[in-house]
Amino acid sequence: MIVEFGHFALLLALAVALVQMVLPALGARTGDANLMRVGEPAALAQLWLLTTAFAALTYAYVTSDFSVENVWANSHTDKPLIYRISGVWGNHEGSMLLWVLILAVFGAAVAIFGANLPWTLRANVLAVQAAIAVAFLVFIVFASNPFTRIPLQPEGRGLNPILQDPALAIHPPLLYAGYVGLSMAFSFAVAALIEGRIDAAWARWVRPWTLAAWIFLTLGIAMGSWWAYYELGWGGWWFWDPVENASFMPWLAATALLHSAVVMEKREALKVWTILLAILAFSLSLIGTFLVRSGVLTSVHAFAVDPRRGVFILMILVVLIGGALALYARRAPYLRQGGLFAPISREGALVLNNVLLTVGCGTVFVGTLYPLALESITGDKISVGPPYFNSTFAPLMVPLLLALPLGPMLAWKRGDVPGALQRLLTAAVLSLLALVVTAALARRGPWLAPFAVALGVWVAAGAVCEWASRIKLFSASVEEALRRAANLPRSAYGGMLAHAGVGVMVIGIAATSAWQSEVVLTMKPGERAEIAGYELTFRDVSPRRGPNYQEQVGLLTVSQGGSAVTELHPSKRTYDAPRQTTSEAGIHAALSGDLYAVLGDEVAGSDGAWVIRLYFNPLVRLIWIGAIIMSLGGLLSLSDRRLRIGAPRRARRRPEAATVPAE
Partner 1 sequence: MRILRSLISLAVLLGMLVSPADAVQPDEILKDPALEARARKLSQELRCVVCQNQSIDDSNAPLAHDLRVLVRERLSAGDTDAQVLAYVTARYGDFVLLRPPFKSQTLLLWLAPVLLLVGAIVFLARRRKPTAAEAAEPLSPDEQRRLADIVRAGDPPQQGNPPI
Min CB(28)–partner 1 separation in Å: 7
Min CB(382)–partner 1 separation in Å: 5
The CA distance from 601 to 572, in Å, is 9
Q: What pairing do the DSSP bridges indicate for beta strands 534-545 and 528-531?
A: antiparallel
Min CB(195)–partner 1 separation in Å: 8
Is 275 in contact with 332 (CB distance < 8 Å)? yes
User: CA dist 431 to 115, 327, 444, 473, 509, Å?
Assistant: 48, 47, 20, 20, 16
Min CB(363)–partner 1 separation in Å: 5
Amino acid present at 649: R
Peptide bond into 578 cis (omega under 30): yes
Nearer to partner 1, 39 or 90 (CB): 90
Min CB(415)–partner 1 separation in Å: 17
Q: Considering the rule CB under 8 A, would residue 331 count as an interface residue with partner 1?
A: no
Q: Considering the rule CB under 8 A, would residue 516 count as an interface residue with partner 1?
A: no
For helices 307-317 and 119-143, what crossing angle results, to 10°?
170
Q: Considering the rule CB under 8 A, would residue 31 count as an interface residue with partner 1?
A: yes
Is 566 in contact with 535 (CB distance < 8 Å)? no
Min CB(102)–partner 1 separation in Å: 16
Nearer to partner 1, 52 or 582 (CB): 582
Task: Figure out which of the listed residues 22, 149, 173, 231 binds partner 1, where binding follows CB under 8 A.
Answer: 231
Task: Figure out which of the listed residues 338, 445, 525, 546 binds partner 1, where binding follows CB under 8 A.
Answer: 338
Q: Considering the rule CB under 8 A, would residue 91 count as an interface residue with partner 1?
A: yes
The CA distance from 129 to 440, in Å, is 56
Q: Considering the rule CB under 8 A, would residue 534 count as an interface residue with partner 1?
A: no
Residues 6+ apart with CB under 8 A from 246: 287, 288, 289, 291, 292, 368
Task: Figure out which of the listed residues 9, 16, 21, 168 binds partner 1, where binding follows CB under 8 A.
Answer: 168
Min CB(234)–partner 1 separation in Å: 4
Min CB(270)–partner 1 separation in Å: 8
Interface residues for partner 1 in 144-163 (CB under 8 A)? 157, 160, 162-163
Task: Figure out which of the listed residues 2, 22, 232, 300 binds partner 1, where binding follows CB under 8 A.
Answer: 232
Stretch that binds partner 1, among 387-395, 548-556, 618-626, 630-638 (CB under 8 A): 387-395
Q: Considering the rule CB under 8 A, would residue 311 count as an interface residue with partner 1?
A: no
Amino acid present at 356: L
Number of H helices, E strands in the chain: 23, 10
Helices (H), 318-448: 323-331, 346-378, 386-403, 417-423, 425-441
Cα four-point dihedral sign 651, 655, 661, 663 = negative
Stretch that binds partner 1, among 129-137, 311-319, 362-370, 546-554 (CB under 8 A): 362-370
Task: Figure out which of the listed residues 426, 517, 522, 639 binds partner 1, where binding follows CB under 8 A.
Answer: 522
Interface residues for partner 1 in 342-361 (CB under 8 A)? 351, 354-355, 358-359
- Total residues found in the chain within this entry: 663
Q: Considering the rule CB under 8 A, would residue 563 count as an interface residue with partner 1?
A: no
Q: Considering the rule CB under 8 A, would residue 635 count as an interface residue with partner 1?
A: no
Q: Considering the rule CB under 8 A, would residue 582 count as an interface residue with partner 1?
A: yes
Nearer to partner 1, 360 or 456 (CB): 360
The CA distance from 403 to 415, in Å, is 13
Q: Considering the rule CB under 8 A, would residue 601 count as an interface residue with partner 1?
A: yes
Closest CA to 460 of 505, 415, 419: 505
Instruction: Identify the H or E element spanning 135.
Output: helix 119-143
Stretch that binds partner 1, among 60-68, 314-322, 332-340, 433-441 (CB under 8 A): 332-340
Is 156 in contact with 73 (CB distance < 8 Å)? yes
Task: Figure out which of the listed residues 79, 204, 423, 613 binds partner 1, where binding follows CB under 8 A.
Answer: 613
Nearer to partner 1, 339 or 489 (CB): 339
Q: How many CB atoms lie within 10 A of CB 335?
A: 17
Stretch that binds partner 1, among 333-341, 534-542, 620-628, 640-648 (CB under 8 A): 333-341
- ∠296-302-308 over CA atoms, to 5°? 85
Nearer to partner 1, 52 or 58 (CB): 58
Interface residues for partner 1 in 97-126 (CB under 8 A)? 118-120
Nearer to partner 1, 391 or 563 (CB): 391
User: CA dist 118 to 130, 496, 551, 644, Å?
Assistant: 18, 32, 60, 17
- Counting residues that bind partner 1 (by CB under 8 A) gives 92
Per-residue mark of binding to partner 1, 269-308 (x: CB under 8 A)? xx-xx------------------xx-x-xx---x--xx--
% helix / strand / coil in the chain, to the nearest 5? Answer: 65, 10, 20
Q: Considering the rule CB under 8 A, would residue 546 count as an interface residue with partner 1?
A: no
